[in-house]
């Protein structure tokens, strides 16, 4: 089956931007006749180019975008921005050309101007970064904002939300023209506050350029993405630009990982701190008051005697920590703490697809599907499951192919140390041999706990059925990795697949409602 990619979202109507004004705004010379040309969009990809667009032809990994200018013109591009190298490639063309060196470095600003996303014309913007928890924090932010009466938008790994409309995501953080078009669509639909998940790759690849956030948050940093970054220091450096004056007004930093203090010390913007750890000095503290399979209650205490009590419809102390971070970000944005307390007194109303999502019926073992795919995510989630489980804890997981292989032994070690029964299976093999990935995981798990009850089962449909067949009421199964995703990447093809549906089917087949 061919890969299905959700469409890029744009506003229904755009106020046309005259090319002469656009060129003047960015100090660009125009080759050709620009007087009668107006822009209604911007694209760096002919796959989404629409009539009236400005086509930005940039150097790419394999080829220069200028090689696609003729295709862009066929599709309706009315002007082109490119660099000197692109101008040499393209030859004479029938539309105006604007020369701009290093166009990717300016792409976000160009797109923001085309879509009218300028200061004084924007909703409140919140951004969260970190290895784990940024998706959960973004959803919790949006949930609280909605309870406060805001019209909300969200862009995350899982979904885009626009004033109640839900769309499956393409990337964690879209390319800057798509992001700017998305913000413009949100403005068009009356959105007043937006929660945005920002990955390290998004910052490295300039995808949030052209945006200035009211408040940014940092969750944590742990072993992940070392296929993209040379080491943990390089990974840290990739996230730090979010905490600069260019990108944000204020920040909130969680001190629950050792890298939190580095963010505080290196931040260019004013920051406040938060922790859920005992004995850590911070401005705000999160304390857990109750943990159940259905919710986690907490109290948030901060300066001037402010205390906020609520609960999240999620399992685990780390989820309460994410909620605390979200609340403090809102307070830093100017929301009244008492108004927040009143709004969430009975709990934060948020559904987080694939984040420690309980898919169990009224009977049988508890089954949780979770998106976490790093050692730290395994550690936190297994600990949370253990706290609310009377019987044995099972874990089912696999590892990504063609991604950071250095974290695989640690993932297997943490899994083996944290569960009673381990089922190792496949995840997204991509172009790697899945059997080889499983062998690495099995060997590391056995090295950590030689006597652990361990099963190697492929494919994952069979793996979850194996776990369910062994489990009894009172036991719990954590299936880590697939979460909300509705596909598996097998040799470059997105094969339809749902962990939630497979888990429910496995329970039903074993006689559990």
Place of tokens 């979200």: 326
Whether residue 220 is found in the same domain as residue 364: no
Whether residue 217 is found in the same domain as residue 313: yes
Residue 376 has a pLDDT of 85
CATH number where 36 lies: 3.40.1390.10
CATH number where 310 lies: 3.40.1190.10
Contact 55, 80 (CB under 8 A): yes
Place of tokens 């969200």: 154
Element at 114 (helix H, strand E)? helix 107-114
Q: Cβ atoms within 10 A of the Cβ of 74, count?
A: 10
Of 114, 144, 166, the one marking the end of a domain is 114
Whether residue 185 is found in the same domain as residue 325: yes
Query: Read out DSSP for 188-244?
Result: HTT--EEEEE--HHHHHTTTTTT--EEEEEE----S--TTTSSSHHHHHHHHGGGGS
Residue 486 has a pLDDT of 84
Of 344, 365, 399, the one marking the end of a domain is 344
Close Cβ partners of 266 (under 8 Å, ≥ 6 residues apart): 240, 243
**Domain assignment of residue 8, yes or no:** no
User: Which residue ranges of the chain lie beneath pLDDT 70?
Assistant: 1-7, 170-173, 223-229
Contact 461, 502 (CB under 8 A): yes
Contact 118, 25 (CB under 8 A): no
Whether residue 83 is found in the same domain as residue 140: no
Residue 371 has a pLDDT of 86
Whether residue 215 is found in the same domain as residue 314: yes
Query: Read out DSSP for 122-179?
Result: --EEEEEESSSSHHHHHHHHHHHHHHTT--EEEE-SSEEEETTEEEE-SSSS--HHHH
> Do the bridges between strand 53-57 and strand 97-99 make them parallel or antiparallel, or are there none, so unpaired?
unpaired
Place of tokens 């009377």: 390
**Domain assignment of residue 10, yes or no:** no
CA 260 to CA 273: how far, in whole Å?
A: 9
Whether residue 323 is found in the same domain as residue 399: no
Whether residue 188 is found in the same domain as residue 211: yes
Whether residue 129 is found in the same domain as residue 109: no
Whether residue 202 is found in the same domain as residue 338: yes
Close Cβ partners of 439 (under 8 Å, ≥ 6 residues apart): none
**Domain assignment of residue 103, yes or no:** yes
**Domain assignment of residue 376, yes or no:** yes
CA 167 to CA 175: how far, in whole Å?
A: 16
Contact 397, 407 (CB under 8 A): no
Whether residue 147 is found in the same domain as residue 215: yes
**Domain assignment of residue 330, yes or no:** yes
b/e map 461-473, b = 16+ CB within 10 Å:
bebbbbbbebbee
Contact 440, 409 (CB under 8 A): yes
- Of 73, 126, 127, give the one whose Cα is nearest residue 96: 73
> Do the bridges between strand 38-39 and strand 17-18 make them parallel or antiparallel, or are there none, so unpaired?
antiparallel
Whether residue 369 is found in the same domain as residue 478: yes
Close Cβ partners of 5 (under 8 Å, ≥ 6 residues apart): 170
**Domain assignment of residue 67, yes or no:** yes
Contact 39, 17 (CB under 8 A): yes
Whether residue 109 is found in the same domain as residue 148: no
CATH number where 406 lies: 3.90.190.20
CA 18 to CA 32: how far, in whole Å?
A: 14
As a whole number of Å, the end-to-end CA separation of the chain is 32
pTM over 0.85: yes
* Residue 197 backbone dihedrals phi, psi, to 5 degrees: -90, 125
Residue 172 has a pLDDT of 54
Domain count for the chain, please give it: 3
Residue 352 has a pLDDT of 87
- Of 402, 502, 510, 422, give the one whose Cα is nearest residue 462: 502
Q: Name the region of 28 (left: φ>0; alpha: ψ -120 to 50; beta: rest).
A: beta
Of 54, 88, 114, the one marking the end of a domain is 114
In DSSP terms, 212 is beta-bridged to none
Residue 173 has a pLDDT of 66
- Of 228, 200, 198, give the one whose Cα is nearest residue 212: 198
Segments forming the whole domain that contains residue 36: 17-114
**Domain assignment of residue 352, yes or no:** no
**Domain assignment of residue 422, yes or no:** yes
Residue 505 has a pLDDT of 95
In DSSP terms, 194 is beta-bridged to 125, 153
Contact 324, 288 (CB under 8 A): no
Contact 110, 37 (CB under 8 A): no
Place of tokens 């938060």: 274
Residue 416 has a pLDDT of 98
């Amino acid at each position: 089956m061919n890969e299905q990619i959700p469409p890029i979202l744009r506003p229904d109507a755009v106020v046309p931007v005259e090319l002469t004004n656009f060129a003047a705004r960015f100090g660009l010379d125009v080759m050709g006749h620009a007087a009668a040309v107006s822009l209604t969009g911007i694209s760096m990809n002919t796959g989404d180019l629409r009539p009236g667009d400005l086509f930005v032809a940039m150097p790419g990994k394999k080829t220069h975008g200028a090689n696609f200018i003729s295709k862009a013109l066929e599709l309706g591009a009315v002007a082109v921005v490119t660099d000197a190298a692109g101008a040499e490639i393209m030859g004479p063309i029938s539309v105006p050309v604007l020369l701009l060196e290093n166009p990717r470095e300016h792409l976000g600003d160009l797109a923001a101007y085309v879509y009218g996303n300028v200061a004084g014309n924007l909703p409140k913007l919140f951004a969260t970064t970190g290895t784990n928890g940024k998706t959960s924090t973004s959803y919790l932010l949006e949930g609280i904002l909605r309870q406060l009466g805001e019209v909300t938008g969200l862009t995350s790994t899982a979904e885009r939300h626009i004033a109640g409309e839900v769309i499956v995501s393409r990337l964690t953080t879209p390319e800057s023209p798509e992001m700017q078009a998305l913000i413009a669509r949100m403005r068009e639909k009356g959105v007043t506050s937006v929660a945005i998940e920002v990955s390290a790759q998004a910052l490295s690849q300039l995808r949030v350029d052209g945006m200035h956030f009211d408040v940014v948050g940092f969750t944590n940093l742990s072993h992940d993405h070392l296929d993209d970054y040379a080491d943990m220091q390089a990974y840290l450096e990739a996230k730090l630009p979010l905490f600069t004056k260019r990108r944000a007004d204020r920040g909130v930093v969680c001190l629950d990982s050792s890298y939190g203090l580095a963010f505080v010390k290196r931040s260019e913007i004013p920051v406040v701190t938060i922790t859920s750890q005992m004995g850590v000095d911070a401005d705000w503290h999160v304390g857990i008051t109750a943990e159940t399979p259905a919710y986690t209650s907490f109290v948030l205490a901060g300066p001037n005697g402010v205390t906020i009590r609520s609960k999240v419809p999620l399992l685990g102390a780390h989820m309460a920590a994410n909620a605390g971070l979200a609340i403090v970000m809102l307070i830093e944005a100017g929301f009244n703490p008492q108004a927040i307390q009143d709004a969430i007194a009975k709990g934060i109303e948020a559904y987080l697809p694939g984040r420690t999502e309980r898919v169990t019926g009224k009977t049988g073992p508890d089954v949780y599907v979770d998106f976490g795919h790093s050692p730290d995510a395994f550690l936190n989630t297994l600990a949370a499951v253990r706290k609310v489980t009377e019987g044995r804890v099972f874990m089912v997981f696999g590892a990504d192919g063609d991604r950071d292989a250095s974290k695989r032994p640690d993932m297997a070690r943490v899994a083996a140390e944290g569960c009673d029964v381990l089922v190792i299976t496949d995840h997204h093999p991509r172009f790697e041999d899945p059997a080889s990935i499983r062998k690495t995981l099995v060997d590391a798990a056995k090295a950590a706990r030689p006597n652990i009850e361990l099963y190697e089962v492929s494919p994952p449909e069979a793996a979850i059925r194996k776990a369910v067949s062994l489990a009894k009421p009172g036991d719990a199964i954590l299936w880590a990795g697939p979460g909300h995703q509705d596909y598996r990447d097998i040799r470059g093809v997105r094969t339809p697949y749902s962990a939630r549906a497979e888990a429910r089917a496995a329970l039903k087949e074993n006689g559990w409602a």
